[in-house]
Structure 1
């Protein structure tokens, strides 16, 4: 599913115009970006959390030349799925009954 598919799905489900649905989806993404850029953690119950993690500087290797390269420290966005989302992806199976 891409952004346009999401917009179409929201528009159909809630009987909205695509323009209005696009504005809603854009605003939700914008609010998440603003919060993350200011250092806040964004937690969506039942879905997961977005948070900024700082990676330290390290040395790497250029795969073409084999030369060592310094990789600077940087901030990256990390997503951690909620327990409910993880369980929906991997539903627990009932144990088999042992044959007598």
Structure 2
């Protein structure tokens, strides 16, 4: 499901227009992106926590040849689901 698909449901539930909801969702994505770039954790109560984690360089294996390869250090976004969400799903 995409943000555009969420917008009509949220608009109907909160008596807003679809365009207003799409603008709010776009603002949410922009704000979350900015905060993650800054290194902050983003806690969405009832949904979970988004945070950036540093992954160190490591040795891996090429699945085709089995040869060892060096995997560079990287930064990844991690999501930890909230207990409320886990209980519902």
Same fold, TM-score > 0.5, yes or no = yes
1:14 CA drift (Å)? 1.8
Tell me the matched-pair count.
89
Q: What is the CA RMSD across the aligned residues, in angstroms?
A: 1.3
Query: Partner residue of 2:68?
Result: 68
1:12 CA drift (Å)? 1.8
| Deviations 1:15-64 (CA, angstroms, capped at 9, x unpaired) | 22222111110001111111111000011222211111111111111222
Distance 1:54 1:14 in 2: 39
1:3 CA drift (Å)? 1.7
Distance 2:46 2:13 in 1: 20
Give TM-score scaled by structure 2 length: 0.89
Q: Which runs of 4+ in 1 moved over 3 A?
A: none
Query: Partner residue of 1:18?
Result: 18
The answer to which structure, 1 or 2, has the higher relative contact order (CA under 8 A, 6+ apart) is 2
**Residue ranges of structure 2 left out of the alignment (5+ in a row):** none
Matched, 1:78 2:78: yes
**Residue ranges of structure 1 left out of the alignment (5+ in a row):** 90-100
Q: Which has the larger radius of gyration?
A: 1
Distance 1:11 1:49 in 2: 25
Structure with higher helix content: 2
Give TM-score scaled by structure 1 length: 0.80
